[in-house]
Structure 1
Amino acid sequence: MIFAVFMISVSSGSGLSQYTNVKNALNQFHITSLYPKNKNGQTYGSAAYATSPETEPDLILATGVDGTEGYLLRKDMEGELPKTPEEAIAMQNSRSPEGHDIPLYDKDGETVIGVFRVGGE
């Protein structure tokens, strides 16, 4: 059914904007149908079920450095993005070879229950 709607909209000349609308609707459906929400409205679960970075849950299932299972905030995993190529190089050169720690949360997205190491060995 969705494919048929997509094909009709493409043939009617409004294809690109309709495609974007359909893609966004499918991503939202994927997120809300696969992942439960916590009391704060954040989705949580394994990123293994995501079909793209846009469909990953807000809280991603992970195991902390001490074996504790919890969730990472997607925004913590993504980190700050550089604004220029020079800033990207500076950020890369400033990274520690041991990596860095980010909080590991309970599914409520508020309670810190451990740490997760990003990068390093």
Structure 2
Amino acid sequence: MKPFNHDIGGYAFLGLLVATAWAIPLAVFLHRDAHGSAMELPRCDEARSLDQVREALEEQGGQAVLGLFDATELRRGAIGDYRRCLAKVVTTAGEAHIGFAIGWHDRRNAIPFWTGDRLPPSPLDRANH
């Protein structure tokens, strides 16, 4: 039978120290996006932003969204907590500019939200009211 090694406490401490030294950079790396930068909100002109806005506009009903383009950022929060955007939307009723915002629903888990203007009423809707 082998004798008990009395230096096991020293080895355990050294192992924990090494594990901690690896865990901190790993946690920072995992908290970053695919481009290696700190988590940022999606840009106004990113495909997923435009898809989210298009879905919301189409769910309002009444007008089919034929296109959504020329999305530009008007303003960004000082700490990167929101973006205000403007885009041109083409519907069956014509063209209009709409504003929308992107913010954090859950920043820790990098879950954004999108919110914005409704489509202006079509000429047919205005004539019926």
> Per the shorter chain, which TM-score range?
under 0.3
Query: Per residue, is there more helix in 1 or in 2?
Result: 1
- The structure whose Rg is larger is 2
Query: Per residue, is there more strand in 1 or in 2?
Result: 2
TM-score, length-scaled by structure 1: 0.28
